[in-house]
Structure formats: C-alpha cells, structure tokens
Chain A
Amino acid sequence: MKKIFLIIAIVFGVSLNAQQTPAPPQSEQIAIIGATAHIGNGEVIENCTIIFKDGKITAIGAGLMAPTVGTMINAEGKHVYPGFIAPSKSLGLVEVDAVRASDDQDEIGEMIPHVRSLIAYNAESKVVESMRPNGVLIGQVTPVGGTISGTSSIVQFDAWNWEDAAVKTDDGIHMNWPNFFRRGRWWAGEERGFIPNKEYGKEMADIEMFFQNSIAYGKASEDEKNLPFAAMQGLFDGSQRLYIHADGEKEMTDAVTMAKEMGVKNVVIVGGYRANKIVDLLKEHNIPVLVERTHALPSFEDDDYDITYKLPKLLVDAGLLVGLQNEDAANFQVRNLAFYAGQTVAQGLDKETALQLITGNTAKILGIDDMYGTLEEGKSATLFISEGDALDMRTNKLTKAYIDGRDVSLETHQTELWKRYMGKYEREKEGQ
C-alpha cells in the first residue's frame, strides 16, 4: 500500500511539475510580417503577411498593408508553416513504453470499435509537449492492437484536459487487416521465417461477418443495445472514416474490396507499403494513403534500399492523396515527422509537395481541412515560425508556435533540464 502511494506520488509529482501551462485564448490580433509562408497546399508566398484574430487567420498574402493594432512579429528571413499533423499515433495514451502502469494504448478484445481513445488521452504528457518545439501541433490519438482497435480522436497539443484538446471527437475507426503471411511458430516445428497464414481466409470472413452484423443492427431499432455494432454506424453514414492498416498488395486489395462492398463511405489506407502496386484500385475508390515513416527499413531483403524513402513520391506521382504517419515507431519519434517529409525531397519530391504530406493532405485525409492543415483565410491560426527550413533537422528551429491563435509554450521538460544543467556548468565556470 505504501509502495503504491509512493508510485502515485512520483508519477503525479513528475508530470505536474513538467507540463507547461497551456496558453490562454488569443486576446489581440497578431500579424506576422515578411516571412516565407509555406501554405501547405503546394504554394509558397515570399515576403508574406499573416494576420490572425480570435484564433482565425483573417488575412494572408504578399504585400498586405501592415495592421496598426495588435502584436506585430517581424519574421523576415524566417519561415511560417501550418502546424504539422501526426495521424495514427497513440500519443498521450502511453508515457513510458516499458512501464506498464503508464500504458493505455491497447485494450483487450479483437473487435472493439466502441473503445474510445479520447478519454484516456493525457493532455499533460511529457511526450506530447515535446512535439511542439518541432512544429507538430495536432495529432490523431489512436488505439492499437486487435483487429478493430477502437475509435480515434483528433486533438491539438496544448490543452488542460482531453475535452479542451479535442479537435474532432471520434473521427474514425482503426482496423488492422490480417496478414497474408505470418511468422512461423518455429517452436512448434514450423519454418523460422514468415509463412502463409492459413487462417487468413477465416480472419477475413470474421471481419466481414462483423461488418454485416453491424449493418443489420443499424437497420432495426433494437431494444437491447450492442455497443460494438452501434459504434460502427458512423462508417456507413460517412460521419466516420475507416482506417485500414495494411501493407501488402493482397491485403490492401481484399480490405478495400470488403469495405466498399459493405458500403463504408470513407476509407483510408494506413501503411500501404505496396500501395504503388495497386494505384488503380485506390484511385477508383478515391482512397488516400497514410504512408509509414520514410525512415523505416525495407520489409523485404531484395527491395530497393530507398523504397521507404521514395514511396510517398511514387504515390504522389501516381495521383493519390498521400500523408505520412509513423505508427511503427515509438511515440516520441512523432516529433521527427517533418524529417520524414524532408527525406522524400532527396528522392525528387518538390519541397512544398513534401510539406503537404504532413499538413494540407493529412488534414484532408482526416477530414479537418475546413479548419486545419493550410494557411488560408478563415482557417485556424495553427501555425509556427521557424528560423529556417522546417523539413531539415539542421534548420528546424521554432521561435513561435500558435494553436488556434494561442501563443503556446515551446518549453518542455527537456529544455528545462538543458537550461538547468547548462546553468550548473556556468556556475562552476564562474567558480560559484
């Protein structure tokens, strides 16, 4: 008992001290002047003025008349970007990977669409706050595991609690499509490598049955509620998206075919390692792809060493709507989102197009493009100023960040420690 108390004290103590205080609502008009503005839709405006008030962009363009009221920020030589958006991550659901008590990302059960990530989202996570200094300001908080993992929500990264954080509640359902190949159970005499998954057909049929039951359930008004089936209804009326996590050509083809047969309105592929092989099918059904981080290793020994680097470019060139995510990496890695986009530039993608992969495109894919993802009049002033090119690690240096016009802190637990210990050494130097 004493021990438990101690653990609670430590955990709470640490996180309360660390979390930066969320910024208050925007109180006066702010104008950023002279910046290179990367709009997030492929355009770039040099010497741009961006004016925002009450959390919304009221004007943006080159050569705008400088306002006479509010705060003016001179950003000459600097760059302004829409806040980066990180889809499909369990940010805020797990704090320290190896500490089970801090892990809330994976509920038991195979088909649990009714399980909602939002209410477990820890707005005070130290991992979450470390996103802001790198320009990642919005994320889709996503449960993991099982076949249908649950329902995600989209949040902004500077909030007192999950209600404050919510940008779009229960935006979509995440489904892990079964694998056509699985690891051999060598201890049971199977091959050591990956072998065909004999259960693949059955696992697929189980999913289809679950969808059919959900549809049937939705047609009648039952007295007794079925929580999982009820949670699926948004897929059929288009109010929620179905995120299908799949990588192989066969898996993606099977999944898309099933989802379309079941009348799911909005389907998104997450992963899509071989999506370049089924471009026509994805185009036909208007299905966007959230590609796995470009830093990932190739999945197959004989694949091009740079296949993951260039996959987004291949898909963009093929005319698909593409975003980036990094669900296979640790949560803290989300702050490297910009560099995953930067990596595609070395493969020949234009820098502004690369930026779209983590801003405008992602907003469209997640269905929040009415407010986020691009710097446009009428949209949320969720943006930041960087001293240099934010897609390159050398020059990604934020001086200001705003979420809905709120001037958010760029300090973190990590910057505090940096300053504390540099201070210690300064003191030593001064002989104190």
Chain B
Amino acid sequence: MKLKLLALLFFVGSVSLFAQDYFPINDGVKAKKNNNYTAFTNAKIYVTPTQIINKGTLLIQNGKVVQVGKSVNIPKNAIVEDMSGKSIYPSFIDVLSGFGVKLPKEASGGGRSAQYGPSREGFYWNDHIMPENDAISSFEYDKKQAEELRNAGFGTINAHIEDGIARGTGVLVALNDEASEAQRILSDKSAQYFSFEKSQASRQSYPGSLMGAMALMRQVYYDMDWYSKGNVNTKDRSLEALIANKGLTQIYVAGDNGNVLRADKIGDLFGIQYTILGGGDEYERIDEIKATNAKLILPVNFPDAFDVSNPYQAKYIALKDMRHWNLAPSNPKVLADNGVEFSITLHGLKSPKDLKDKIMKAITYGLPETKALEALTTIPASILGKSNEIGSLQPGSQANFLITSGDIFDKGTTLYENWVQGTKNIVESMDVIDIRGDYDLAVNGTTYKVSLTGDADKPKAEIKKGEEKVDSKIDYSADWLNISFSEDNIGSYRWVAQVMPGANSIKGTAVLPNGDETTATMTKTSPFEEKAEEDETAEKPQLMAVTYPNVGYGFKEKPKQESILFKNATVWTGESILENTDVLIKNGEISKIGKDLRAGGATVVDATGKHLTAGIIDEHTHIAALAINEGGHNSSAEVRMEDVIDPKDVAIYRDLAGGVTTAQLLHGSANPIGGQSAIIRMKWGESAEDMVFDNSPKFIKFALGENVKQSNWGSYSRFPQTRMGVEQVYTDYFQRAKEYDEKKKSGEPYRHDEEMETLAEILNGERFISCHSYVQSEINMMMKVAEKFGFRVNTFTHILEGYKVADKMAEHGVGGGTFSDWWAYKYEVNDAIPYNAAIMSSQGVTVAINSDDAEMSRRLNQEAGKTVKYGGMSEIEAWKMVTLNPAKLLHLDDRVGSIEEGKDADIVLWSDHPLSVYAKAEKTLIEGKVYFDLEKDKMLRESIKKERNQLIGMMLNDNKKGGKSKTPVQSKKEEFNCDTL
C-alpha cells in the first residue's frame, strides 16, 4: 500500500503543483514544488501540421509547453531527452465521443398504448429535449478506455451524453490518468449537442420521424426566443439551459449527407452555424455540403469489402453499397479538395486501434497528410474554441504530444510515447535493444540455430537442430530474453538472459531437461535483414465514377435541356387528340404544336404511330421519402415532407419509366392533421431541394377514418378513437388557429407556433388540404367543418365513397383523387367501387386517379384506362384523370398537365395508346430534359452489369489480400404507403 502510494506520488510529481495550491495537505510536506523542465532535443517537431521544425527542441514545464524551436535555451534544471531521429506531434483530439459518460437508463417497455405526454415536470414539454443535461454529471473517468485512446494517439476527448434530440453540454477531458478531475477536466460546458434521434430514457411518442425531429427543433428555438423575452410565467429548465448555452460551440450529430444538409437548414433559420457530424458519404453531394459552410466532424469507418465469394449471396448486394465501399475512403480527400474543414472522429469505429489503418487508407486515396493531421489536432481544437490550449505545441499549450519513430501515418512508424499534460505515457518502449538476427546457441554440447525475426520489440524465434525444427517459445521484454524449446525424447530447455546494448553475443543461464543449470551463450552469426515489404502503396486505387444520384441507374452527367421536334405523333392536348401532329420542344417549354413544323436546330424524333402526352401527375404518393408519418400527436401540421425527400429512391427512376413526371409526396394518414406535402418533379439525379416543383402551392395532408382513430392496431389512448372525435379535433385546432391568427394580425406579441402557423395558412387560403377519406359521413363532416371556418377543402384523396356524396362535393367545390379499383382491405372500404371516378366525374367533380405506392405509381396510365371499363369514361376524360385533373387539383394546370403551347415540356412519348396495357413509355421529359429514354436505359443496364462485375472482382482481390470482409447485406428501402408508421 505504502509502496503504491509512493509510486503514485512519484508519478504525479510535476503535476500536483499547479492545481490545488490552496488545498491543505496532511500526508506529507507541502513545500515540494517541482519546477523542473523537460527538454526534448533533436526532434522533428510538428508545432502545428504546417509549422515543422527539424532538429528542434521542445521545452515543457508544469504540464505546459514553455518553448519550442530550433535554438532553445535549455535551463539548468531540465531533464534532457535526446530525440534524434524521432518526431514529435501534438496529441490528437476527438470532438465527438461518449467517453466515460453514462447513458440514461432505457425506459421500460410500456403498456397497451403509446405514451403521448412527457414524463418530466419543470422541463420542456418533450422528453427528448434535454439541453439541461450536462455530460459532467454522469462522467466517470475510465482509465482503461483512456489508455486505448492514448495508444491511438489521443490526448484530449470531448464527450457528451449520446442520447436524445437536445443532448445538453459536453465535457472536455485530458486523458491524464495521474491527474485529478480538477486538472483533467478542461471544460465542463465544452459544446452543446443535438441530434435527430430520440432519447432511450423516454417512450414519449413524439417525434416519431425525422421530419418530426426537425419540426421539434424549430419549435424549440422559437420557444427559447419567446421564453427569453420573459413571456412565460412558469419555469422551464430546458429552455433556460438552452438560453444559457447559446454561446457555446453548437454540434449537430447528424450522420449522413442528407442529415448534414437537414441540420444546416435548421441552423440557417435561426442564424446558428452548427458543426456537424458527417456520414462518410459527403462525396456524393459535395457541392451542397460545401455550400453549408459548416465544419464537419468526419467518421472514417470506411466499410469493409463484402465477402462476395458466394455468387448467390453477392447478388443481394446493391451496386450503391459496393460503390460506397470503393469510394468511401476517398471521402476525406474530396472534402479536403473542396476546402471543407473537418475534424476526424473515432465515432463509428469499433476500436481506436483501427484509426491509423483508416487514415492511412484515406491518405492512399489522396488525402494530404497535413490535412489528416490538422483534422486530428488544430481543427478539433478550433471547433472547440481551444486553439490556444490544445491541438498544437505553441508555447502556453498543454504539453500533449506524441513521440514517434517517424512519419506518424507511415505503416512502419511506432508510436512510443503519448504525453498528456506533461505526464509521460509509454505506448511502446523507445529503448528496445534490437536483438534480431541469426545466432548459434550452444547448450550442453549441442548447437542450436536460433533465428530471431519480426518486430524489434516482439521478435519471433525459429530454432533448428541441424535441419530439424524444434518447438519453441520466446518472450522479450524490458531487456530480458526468455527462450524455451523442447525436443522429443529429451525434454525441454529453458534459457534466460539479460540483453546488453551493442553486444554480439548474449550470455545467459540454461535450465536443462534434468533440472541442472548451466551457462549458455548465444552468439550472433549474421545480422537481421528486413525483407522489402511488398509495395502496396504503389497500386493506385481505382475509383468508380460518382453518378447522379449515386446509385444504380444514376446518370454520369445530369440531363441537359434539349430542343426536340416530335414528328407525326398522335398528340393528346388538354381536350382533344390530334393525329399526325408535330410538337416542338424548346427552352424547356412546349414551343409549338402543328403540322409540318420546321426543326430549326432541334433534334427530330420520328413519332409516327406513337402517342405524345403530357407527363403523368400522381396526386398521392409516398415514394422518394425517408419518412411518411409523424403520428406522435393527433396533429402534426408542423412537419414537412420537403424535409425528408430521398432523391436516391430508385422508385423515382421507375416512375419516369412509367411516364410520371410530377407527384405530390403526402404525409401518411396516422393522424387527423398530417404534415405538409412536397410536390416534386421526378428529376432523377437532382438534389432533394431541386426536385421540389418550383413555386408550387402549399399543401397539407388531412386524414379521416380507421387510421386516424387507430382502429387497426393496439392504441387506445390517443384522441380521437371515433369519427365523432375526429370532428372535434378539427374544430379545436381551427378555432385555436383562428384566435392565433387574429392575435398575430393584431400586432400583439405572440408565441410563434409552427403548427398554428400552418393551420392559419389554411384559414387564409394560402394552403390547401388533401384529405384522406373513406366513408360518406366523414366526407360530409369535413366539408361542413371547412365551411364553418370559411374555407374549402381542396381535394379528398382515396375518397372511396365519394360517389355517394358527389353532389355535395361538387357544391362545396372539392376535387377527388381516388384509386381505380381498390377495395376490401379494410372495413371502411366495403362500399368502395371502381365506378367511383366515373360517378364523381359525372356530377362535375374534378377527379384524379392516384397511386399511394411505388407499384401503382409507375403504371397510372393503365389505372386511368380502367375508368373506361368501369363507368364508360371517354378516353380523353380518362386520360385527364392522370394529367390535367391532378394538375388542376395541385393548382399547377397553368404549367403542366397537358400539351399546350407555352406549358412546361413535361411530356411522354408512348409506344402505343397511352391508356392501353400495351403502351410503354419510350421517352420521358421534364422541362425539356430527357430523364428517361429506353435506349439510355439499355446502356445503364449494361454499365450496371459491368460495374458490379468490376467491383466484385476488386472485392475478391481485397478478400484475397487479407482485407477484412463482411457478410453480404441487401439494403432494401421499405415501400411506403399511407399506413406506413
């Protein structure tokens, strides 16, 4: 015990002085300040990644850098360490970690129904918003983990509670085992953290989706502002913490390129520039990433190659996942090339040990070493606002540095020591005597040939008697060498020796099989020769091209606007079908319709025997989205489908192949008041933002019936549970929205409420409702509620019993978007009939046929064809149900929906009558750009095949070379419809 304490004191030595001067001491004398210096001389010193001193001196005292330079006056009371041939770097910093921080307890599984309210009092209304949390409260320094981190080169770690949407503040800690918390903790409010993931500590349902999390974050900031102005009489410790922490570095734990953009978008709204955790896939959308101006925290968990040795298994892997394997290691280089500042994090790596391999890989893929070093030192320091304390070896900085045998990212380099706050931590001994070589060991009259190879600090032994190999074991540490070996029929020999530097023979003691001890000497016969390693780095990695979007069927180049003359087609205008007609497309518009048009400079497409129509518009779909329902509340008017567009969904391409050019991405039907729609064009390859139909009117999804009253799954606690309750939800919300709007217009101060803002837009005629509906009673009710509040419902979607109240609908002025022939899937569709569209239409309702899913969306022309069968619609009226009518319902009929001069060139060339099951889309254009073309599709198929094959070959090669591999996985996007939770 005493000895241990003594040892501890000895280690602490220089340290204990600067911390707690004013603490009384009872275990010894207080006058024992150690103001000695340590000088590291003749080293190659990286003061910063770009300021490098050859043969320089680093002088430290009291845990800090005192001086660094070529000629440093070394004080007399200095311990001098000669670092000839060695390099010194600042220790690494990780901005994003859960080091030493306990996660909250997981909430126990709930009862029969979901939890809608919060579990806390005195805090924000949502349990997942916990800005009042601070990592320091649940922090416990973990020595074991600290050692692992130090061995990987880290000196300072910034940890936080990795849980919840608003996560509170982090703790910045030096990995100094010997210090007390008083010295180790550099900051207990180092940064403030956010994410899109709910807390495991609460089962509160809201938010249940990515778009819900975004909406919640926006509301939190609005509420913070409202609260800070003194408008709230009660105490909200969450908002108070948020206000108090406004000045800290704000970090968003986002996670992939889409989420990086989402986080930045929230920040932009409130003038906050987050530092954002990336996903390693930024290379796909580098221009957009760059435009955020955000600093990134970058994981380097490049995926392992898939094990593709089983061809049946390999087939399940999507091209995009194989390509990501190929391209991910180039991500840091791409960011560096584009001037995006980033720090590198261990986040996502299984062990800190893996870091060096990954960095080396990134460097092989073109990341400049300087950038790699900055990403681990100066940049994380600047993110944390601690550049004057950590991340460099400027005078005044903490003495956190690495001593290496050479270039830190070279394969053969050894990390010897990692000093943290002036405390020396040995990773590998610097003083190992290299004993490798061939020896003769004479024992008991026999000479054994001993060959020592491998690493200098962990040599391997091979022992031969004559030509015969003998089983042996070797242990070499702290200058003591133990070798034991055994021979059949004789027994085992043990030999132990202390190694002296520079000697050619090693003298030791041997224990013979019979137990006798004797002196035995090992004499060097030839020195060790390092075999030239296979030159792996010489092989430049072959990189696949990034496509738009970066998945199979992505384009190498984004489509460009073309001038095209379609000759001699059957042309479907809004109200008529023109035979043998030409259509000229120019500047993204339908420029001319007529006979014998002149091409000018346009490409001529012979459309003889073919049909030319406007692109199909799907009034109701759920493709190209990452989330559909925010069912955590009975109203989620504040969520936006535009926040969760997924431009990589192959359903977009398949829709194009089915002649679809525009669609409304609707929120699902989990609650009476759903979320805000996104109206998109199928611009395959464009960013989420650019896919949104420019200047499209605002829409919102409402829903009635079984889904909103949660009839078909076990939830019994959310209002409403009946159609009676549904009416009251609307009345309540619209009443409040009305009052909200009046207050807002009166000029009085008001609390900005994202939900009320949206509903007020409806009351003011600025936002339109698409209402999911089934039975006639509820359809009627919805219209009456609207009339009471002075607006009209724009569209009823599904509207399967619309035919029963078609007269009332016509009178109200609402349109209908319905299925052609769906029924029998729920109780409320018992009376759904395929004649619905025809009946509604006969009563003057504007009717569209829509899909609700990816399967039907891509053959809506056929679904329109069914209205000819069921109810005898004329062909032109039938066709309008998937083009002009949905355009009208979406208030876009002045721009799309029919072939008219001056409208946007969103058109489709069909091989046959477009309402026929025999028709195939041959070309699909949006704004004059060809997004789908049968011939181009053929080429894409070929290139997918070729690239898959190439990548599989590369993976097999990687597998053979001993690279790590993982089991094939088929990443499959869930097919969404209204009910998807």
Is B370 positioned at the interface, with any CB of A under 8 Å from its CB? no
B316, B859, B868, B944: the one contacting A194 at CB < 8 Å is B316
A153 to chain B, nearest CB (A): 22
A76 near B: Cβ within 8 Å? no
| Contact A302–B319 (Cβ < 8 Å) | yes
Q: Given that A96-B826, A97-B824, A98-B825 are known contacts, is A193 also in contact with B971, CB under 8 Å in the complex?
A: yes
The residue of chain B having its C-beta at the shortest distance from the C-beta of A396 within the complex is B869
**B868 to A425, Cβ gap below 8 A?**
no
Contacts known (A196-B967, A300-B316); A346 close to B869, Cβ less than 8 A:
no
Would you give the 0/1 interface string for B800-835, flagging 1 where the beta carbon is closer than 8 Å to chain A?
000110110000000000000111111101110111
Nearest Cβ on chain B to A21's Cβ, whole angstroms: 20
In the complex the two chains form, is B868's CB within 8 Å of A193's CB? no
Q: Are B941 and A98 in contact (CB under 8 A)?
A: no
A23 to chain B, nearest CB (A): 23
Which of B312, B830, B871, B968 has a CB less than 8 Å from the CB of A96? B830
Within the complex, which residue of A126, A249, A302, A425 is in contact with B842, where a contact is CB–CB below 8 Å? A425
Known: A98-B706, A297-B975, A331-B824. A391 touches B917 (CB 8 A): yes
Q: Is the CB of A425 within 8 A of B843?
A: yes
Contact A301 B855, CB 8 Å, known A339-B917, A397-B869, A418-B833: no
Is the CB–CB distance between A305 and B653 below 8 Å?
A: yes
Q: Which residues of chain A are within 8 angstroms of B551 by Cβ–Cβ distance? A: 301
B830 in contact with A14 (CB, 8 Å): yes
Q: Which residues of chain B are near A336, meaning CB under 8 Å? A: 821
- A180–B312 CA distance with the chains assembled, in angstroms: 9
With the chains together, A418 CA to B552 CA distance in Å?
A: 46
With an 8 A cutoff between CB atoms, is A95 at the interface? yes
Query: CB within 8 A of A181: which of B316, B842, B920?
Result: B316
Partner of A193, one of B706, B843, B920, B970: B970
Contact B318 A418 (CB under 8 A): no
Complex Cα distance A298/B856, Å?
Answer: 13
- Is B504 close to A, CB under 8 A? no
Given contacts A98-B712, A297-B854, contact A302 B826 (CB under 8 A): no
Contact A392 B871 (CB under 8 A): no
Question: Cα distance A305–B821 when bound, in Å?
Answer: 24
Among A98, A248, A304, the most chain B Cβ lie within 10 Å of the Cβ of A98
What residue in chain B is nearest A125 (Cβ atoms)? B824
> Of A192, A248, A302, A396, which one neighbours B318 at CB under 8 angstroms?
A302
Q: Are A96 and B967 in contact, with the CB atoms below 8 A?
A: no
A393: interface (CB < 8 Å): yes
* B862 in contact (CB, < 8 A): yes
Please state if A345 and B918 are interface contacts (CB–CB under 8 Å). yes
Tell me the bound Cα distance from A425 to B811 in angstroms. 13
Is A5 positioned at the interface, with any CB of B under 8 Å from its CB? Answer: no
Near A by CB (< 8 A), chain B positions 908-948 give 911-913, 915-920, 937, 941, 944, 948
Residue pair A346, B948 in contact (C-beta under 8 Å): no
Cβ-based interface call for B167 (8 A)? no
Nearest CB of chain A from residue B657's CB, rounded to whole Å: 5
A346 touches B552 (CB 8 A): no
- Decide if B324 is an interface residue (CB 8 Å cutoff): no
| Smallest CB gap from B866: residue in A | A393
A313-353 residues with Cβ-Cβ distance < 8 A to B are 330-332, 335-336, 339, 342-343, 345-346
Measured as residues with beta carbon below 8 angstroms from the partner, the interface class of chain B is 35 or more
Give the chain A neighbours of B858 by CB distance below 8 A.
305
Q: Is B520 an interface residue (CB 8 A)?
A: no
Inside 8 A of A220's CB, which chain B residues have their CB?
none
* Across-interface contacts of A260 in B (CB, < 8 A): none
Chain B CB within 10 Å, residue with most, of A95, A99, A302, A397:
A302
Contact A393 B920 (CB under 8 A): no
- Interface status of B313 (Cβ within 8 A of chain A): yes
A120 within 8 A of B: no
Closest-CB distance, B311 to chain A (whole angstroms): 9
Residue among B316, B706, B712, B911 facing the most chain A CB atoms (10 A cut-off) = B316
Residues of A within 8 A of B869 (CB): 393-397
Q: Does A394 contact B865, Cβ atoms closer than 8 Å?
A: yes
Q: Once the chains bind, are B822 and A428 in contact (CB under 8 Å)?
A: no
> Of B839, B918, B971, which one neighbours A346 at CB under 8 angstroms?
B918
Q: Decide if B972 is an interface residue (CB 8 Å cutoff).
A: yes
Contact across chains for B918 and A342 when beta carbons are under 8 A apart: yes
Would you call A110 an interface residue if the criterion is a C-beta within 8 Å of the partner chain's C-beta atoms? no
Closest A residue, CB atoms, query B655: A305
Q: Which residue of A lies closest to B941 (CB)?
A: A304
Q: Is the CB of A195 within 8 A of B967?
A: yes
Given contacts A98-B712, A345-B917, A297 and B654 within 8 Å (CB-CB) = yes
Q: Kindly state whether residue B772 has any CB partner on chain A within 8 Å.
A: no
Q: Which residue of A lies closest to B656 (CB)?
A: A305
Secondary structure of the A contact surface, majority rule = loop
A98 pairs with B826, CB closer than 8 A = yes
Contact A127 B824 (CB under 8 A): yes
**Are A330 and B824 in contact, with the CB atoms below 8 A?**
yes
A184 to B650, CA, bound (A): 21
Q: What is the distance, in angstroms, from B812's C-beta to the closest C-beta of chain A?
A: 16
Separation of A300 and B971 alpha carbons in the complex (Å): 9
B312 in contact with A300 (CB, 8 Å): no
Mask: chain B, 587-625; 1 = CB below 8 Å from A; 0 = not? 000000000000000000000000000000000000000
Q: Does chain B have a CB within 8 A of A191?
A: yes
A185-199 CB mask vs B (1 if < 8 Å, else 0) is 000000111111000
In chain B, positions 767-790 with a C-beta closer than 8 Å to chain A are: none
Please tell me if the beta carbons of A194 and B969 are within 8 angstroms of each other in the complex: yes
- Shortest CB-to-CB span from A385 to chain B, Å, is 15
Return the chain A residue nearest B312 by Cβ: A250
User: Is A414 at the interface (CB under 8 A from chain B)?
Assistant: yes
Pair B854/A96 contact, Cβ less than 8 Å:
no
Closest residue of chain A to B872 (Cβ to Cβ) is A397
Residues of B within 8 A of A421 (CB): 803-804, 806, 839
Per the bound structure, the CA–CA distance linking A97 and B832 in Å amounts to 14
Contact indicator per residue, chain A 127-156, by CB within 8 Å of chain B (1) or not (0): 100000000000000000000000000000
Complexed CA–CA distance, A418 and B915 (Å) = 23
Please, what's the 1-or-0 string for A377-401, where 1 marks a CB less than 8 Å from any CB in chain B? 0000000000000011111110000
B720 to chain A, nearest CB (A): 18
Interfacial chain A residues near B968, Cβ < 8 Å: 195-196
Q: CA A194 – CA B306 in complex, angstroms?
A: 14
Instruction: Determine the distance from Cα of A300 to Cα of B868 in the docked complex, in whole angstroms.
Output: 34
Q: A4 at the A/B interface (Cβ < 8 Å)?
A: no
> B828: nearest residue on chain A (CB-CB)?
A98
Q: Is B792 in the interface zone, CB < 8 Å from A?
A: no
Q: Is B64 engaged at the interface, CB distance under 8 Å to the other chain?
A: no
Please determine whether A193 and B552 come into contact, CB atoms closer than 8 angstroms: no
Considering the complex, give the chain A residue whose CB is closest to the CB of B947.
A302
Question: Could you tell me if A346 and B972 are in contact, using CB atoms closer than 8 angstroms?
Answer: no
Give which listed residue, B821, B916, B944, contacts A392 with CB less than 8 A: B916
Chain A residues near B657: list those with CB within 8 A. 305-306
B320 within 8 A of A: yes
Residues of B within 8 A of A180 (CB): 312-313
A417 contacts B969, C-beta separation under 8 Å: no
B827 touches A99 (CB 8 A): yes
Q: Given contacts A297-B854, A301-B551, is CB(A346)–CB(B917) below 8 Å? A: yes
Q: Evaluate contact between B552 and A96: CB separation under 8 angstroms.
A: no
Chain A residues, CB < 8 A from B650: 301
Q: List 28 A-B contacts (CB under 8 A).
A: A96-B829, A98-B712, A98-B825, A181-B316, A181-B970, A194-B971, A196-B313, A196-B968, A295-B855, A297-B654, A297-B854, A298-B654, A301-B551, A302-B948, A330-B822, A335-B821, A345-B918, A346-B911, A393-B915, A395-B869, A414-B835, A415-B835, A417-B803, A421-B804, A421-B806, A422-B842, A425-B807, A428-B807
Contacts A97-B826, A300-B970 aside, 6 further interface pairs with beta carbons under 8 A come to A301-B551, A302-B319, A345-B918, A346-B918, A393-B868, A417-B835
* The 5 residue pairs across chains A and B that have the minimum distance between CB atoms: A342-B917, A194-B970, A193-B971, A418-B835, A302-B552
Query: Which residues in A have some Cβ–Cβ distance to B below 8 Å?
Result: 14, 95-99, 126-127, 180-181, 184, 191-196, 248-250, 295-298, 300-302, 304-306, 330-332, 335-336, 339, 342-343, 345-346, 391-397, 414-415, 417-418, 421-422, 425, 428
